[in-house]
Chains A and B, each alone.
Chain A
């Protein structure tokens, strides 16, 4: 329809911004697209996430649901306005500085919305209470932080202070503010959807409305022509139309060919000018569907129609670890507990839906998109599009949360195809629904464990079986199937062990990597059986776990001799609160009433890095002629903090202050491969590479100047000063020849964690480094309503060496939030929960008080003793909460999440 587009007279951050736009367009869209104010984020376009919060006449509203014309004549304030000084300059406000100081921004995608909601609150109350802050931020979702640091920052905004700036050699261990924090709080951080050149074409996908269906296209040219768009399908793909994070299993087409295997699978892309695409209706896209009977039950999948022809029995893979004889161990046990558990699909629900831009740089295809694994993206895109890997350049954008799902490519091959075909820059942003439908989930599991203990309470055998619904394509299914048997014992001494898993294909969403790779599910069933055993033995649940905790030098179920084992220390650290809480609960429950309280405990261990497979990282550092120290840090920072932690380790190894380092972020053309950000490996693996690079560069400098080990290195314009007791030597950098990389001094070091292959019984050395932890959950259960409120979680984590306590605490709190969601509310059902009001993740109101305890039992192989943490943090949360629910109510909830109807049923079954 050709209509005159009226002028809307907006006033944004104090300036008149008239814009010609359709009156009913979303204000968020007008701010971002027409006014270039991309600090306002869009996470859902439905009012569910609050990322788009702006102030209209001082009141926070969702810009995504505000028709632009309604804001006419009002004063609109966005995050960009927060750093405006009265004089028209730019400087961070006190609230923004408080966010940095408290580590309130992790990935940063929720930060603009949080800041705007908090700004409105602070206008009314200068020093709000935590309850006031919680209420004011209740409409903004954050998937990274667990909210605690955000609330603390808001309450503390009035107390403006400066964070620590450690001197040379003192970076590791310092609570340093994130080095990449500034753009996250001033609205300039460029996520996948935030950067595009004028005139970039827009790409949209046509997706399957059925979980399983064959399809044929109608006349695509006839359809596309009059609409002034172009359509590309699998027929346009020049390379091999299959991708996958584990190359031998790669099986997922970028665009389906004739058959769609999950709801939301892309079958075609449509490309056109932005104005055309904005009003394009895909409902009449010419495709005829022939729905097939979908395979939906993983346990019945073996005999069902093959989802993929190459895997006729629908078995993707099996995993197995066997040590001793589980049957014999159980037969000799004084007590045997049997537990079952069933978990649901869990959505990553990062607030940033997938987004990116592709363009051509000569004969190189460049892609800037949100990702956790740039080099893997490069290889997948090259394979699908038929390019040499060297002709694909991946530049990760800032990532608004990943948690595992952004390890797999999503839109990269699609925008790459569009750019190759059109020769124009092409951009794409997934809608929330597309993101939820088509990207990976946590594997639903059906598990059974039998665990035996002798009369003294020592574990003497364990038998575990798990069926994992891996969905239509492989993704990380093999990793989950292999990781689970290695970890299903928990961090406990378990002789006589058998754990077998199978990953089954269905027409459900693709299950892939999600913080913990299946281990959080397995912990649910193992810890439930431990509670049974403790009860049968008449032992305290915590004491029972302490008795069986792995100790230094003991062997794991894989036969690995364990070093730096911190689980005992973690459990010990919980003991004081455990004893106090037991007494408090007993007193509370004795008073009667429909609400009962209970406490629970669970542990975790987790191997950092790939399971018995190489996963090296390489770090390069160089000094330029003019005396700039540059660190090529290729570990993508998805909010977890590599951009800060890796420089901290490197700075101490080289012996300079962190502030001296210039970072070159991940870019497959500029940074050596640091592997993927997953498996809690970056601090350990890239950290080790950074440590070695720092040492190597230092050794070169000391050798050149003939100074001793304790020499102090100072960077000065054009020169290096190296001082020790014997005096100060100088390196005149301008006199040195620059190498191919442009550095006069350079070091590049790799580190690959030493592992040993696993034999057919899973025996070997799967990981070089493990981390440990244990949670104590305190809950209240309403016996009449089946509702559960988590009041407090005490979380002890052994990090080996705490590189940055501020970031570590943020990881712990954020992991607990995800674990709490998995335990109590998160259940993805295709077709029914494809948005963030039907799929619920915790808000400020759900989060308990969290008391973190950081423990340092150094690992001999970790950098300076450090261990990974990112995934460990959510493993114990759900089992600890379930244990507490049972302690409170008798209800043994075996089907997660523990929604009221399930809790009520379990209470009934328990006869209470």
Chain B
């Protein structure tokens, strides 16, 4: 591993000043950055450890019923809070379906937003990768591989964003608060990550020196609490990234869907909110047909590369299944295996 400077600023202003320098990287829980530094995919000259910045390690309920989550809140703390989990159950389920207990105890919510793709070539400096090194090519193109994007991909990059949390946030209409050399601003989570286009190396809208300070959930998002699920298909039952996943939320009034939210994970370089599908569901009866039609609509623009064609119908089925589960009602208790597709199948017969 290359040598680097290590700074641990005590104030946000110092952090921004230190983080703006070329080659600087913010360090939060380290669960992603430390690993990428080992493989050689990240080679910062300067590490700016933000974990001692004051005030970012807690959440607060806003007067209007919304929630503001500091960027340094640990994934497990947020997911295990009873009020948070009851108000935004799909978010808690998404968080608990990700990684392992050990990792969730260290990982921060800001870091979760910012985590890098799990494309194996991105992590391996001996492979060409436009995302890691602009213009170096893309080792994934042309390979028969299952994990790659079916929505919003480009010639330059077909990687997916690995976060579960962000899928739920996208559906909830979360906002990301950002602080930087030019002050603070708020960005919709769905605008926060960039599709690769011709410049996959730029993965978010953050400018040099900017950092995520908080995530806010609007009060209205609490309206889905009774019908909200996160469903995650993975190659093993737990502790694996999503092959495809979906967050589904419904507001049902008098047997009719008053409002629906649907977002997908594992299909694109960003959490994929399906506005068309949501629109199609509004006013519909919450039944299997409506869910299948809406979910299929979400995948209408999808395009496969070698070996991942199956993901398009599969994502639609996951979307429909998540909606079906949401319609059935948020479970009273967090499932033993959060987000698992093996529902009704007891882990142990």
List chain A positions with a Cβ less than 8 A from chain B: 1, 3, 22-24, 26, 45-47, 50, 53, 56, 59-62, 64-67, 69-70, 117, 130-131, 134-136, 138-140, 209, 278-279, 281, 283, 433, 595, 778, 780, 782, 784-787, 789, 791-792, 824-825, 831-835, 837-838, 840-846, 848-849, 899-901, 904-905
Contacts and interface: CB of A to CB of B under 8 A. Distances in A.
A70 B102 contact: no
Given A65-B103, A135-B101, A840 B2 contact: no
A845 B237 contact: yes
Contact of A139 (B4, B51, B101, B342): B101
Interface string B209-239: 0000000000000000000000001011111
A355 B82 CA distance: 45
Q: Give the bracket for the number of chain B residues in contact with chain A.
A: 35 or more
B1 interface: yes
Nearest to B147: A838
B8 A825 contact: no
Interface centre among B103, B118, B243 (most CB of A within 10 A): B103
Contact of A130 (B34, B126, B348): B348
25 contacts: A24-B47, A46-B38, A65-B29, A67-B27, A131-B336, A135-B337, A136-B101, A278-B1, A595-B345, A778-B349, A784-B317, A785-B233, A785-B314, A785-B341, A787-B342, A789-B342, A789-B345, A791-B348, A824-B236, A832-B145, A833-B120, A837-B118, A837-B241, A845-B237, A900-B235
Contacts of A900: 233, 235, 243, 310, 314
Given A69-B8, A70-B30, A900-B233, A61 B105 contact: yes
Contacts of A138: 100-101, 238-239
Contact of B318 (A279, A785, A833): A785
Contacts of A61: 102-103, 105-106
Contact of B105 (A60, A130, A782): A60
Nearest to A786: B314
Contacts of A845: 236-239, 337, 340, 347
Contact of A904 (B5, B6, B310): B310
B30 A65 contact: yes
B205 interface: no
Tell me what chain B mostly uses at the interface: helix, strand, loop, or mixed.
loop
B349 A792 contact: yes
A784 B49 contact: no
Given A24-B34, A130-B348, A283-B125, A843 B101 contact: no
A135 B336 contact: yes
Contacts of A56: 105
A62 B6 contact: no
A59 B104 CA distance: 10
Contact of A24 (B4, B35, B39, B99): B4
A832 B126 CA distance: 12
B187 to A, nearest CB: 28
B207 interface: no
Given A139-B102, A837-B240, A904-B310, A209 B6 contact: no
B349 A849 contact: yes
B337 A53 contact: no
Given A61-B105, A901-B146, A846 B345 contact: no
B261 interface: no
B111 to A, nearest CB: 11
A905 B310 contact: yes
B346 interface: yes
Given A3-B3, A130-B348, A831 B120 contact: yes
Cβ-closest 4 pairs across A and B: A139-B100, A845-B238, A791-B349, A845-B237
Contact of A50 (B31, B34, B102, B349): B102
Contacts of A831: 120-121, 124, 127
Contacts of B342: 780, 782, 787, 789
B148 to A, nearest CB: 11
A13 B192 CA distance: 42
B40 interface: yes
A846 B237 contact: yes
Most interface-central of B38, B100, B341, B345 (chain A CB within 10 A): B100
B246 to A, nearest CB: 12
Nearest to B310: A901
Interface in B290-348: 310-311, 314, 317-318, 321, 336-337, 340-342, 344-348
Given A47-B35, A837-B240, 8 more contacts: A117-B101, A130-B348, A138-B239, A433-B39, A778-B349, A786-B314, A824-B236, A899-B146
Interface in B271-302: none
B346 to A, nearest CB: 7
A813 to B, nearest CB: 13
Contact of B237 (A3, A837, A843): A843
B289 to A, nearest CB: 15
Contacts of A832: 120, 145
Nearest to B318: A785
Contacts of B127: 831
A833 B124 CA distance: 11
Interface in B231-273: 233, 235-241, 243
Contacts of A45: 35, 38
B237 A47 contact: no
Contacts of B6: 22-24, 69
Interface in B99-138: 99-103, 105-106, 118, 120-121, 123-127
Given A47-B35, A831-B124, A139 B348 contact: no
Given A135-B336, A831-B124, A904-B310, A60 B236 contact: no
A67 B349 contact: no
B321 A785 contact: yes
Nearest to A431: B38
A900 B40 CA distance: 32
A171 B346 CA distance: 39
A228 B300 CA distance: 59
Contacts of B124: 831, 834
A899 B233 CA distance: 11
A281 B106 CA distance: 28
Contacts of B236: 824-825, 840-843, 845-846
Contacts of A904: 310, 314
A130 B118 CA distance: 32
A1 B106 CA distance: 30
A3 B5 CA distance: 9
Given A837-B118, A837-B240, A846-B236, A62 B103 contact: yes
B345 A47 contact: no
Contacts of B337: 135, 845
Contact of A595 (B4, B123, B344): B344
A53 B101 CA distance: 10
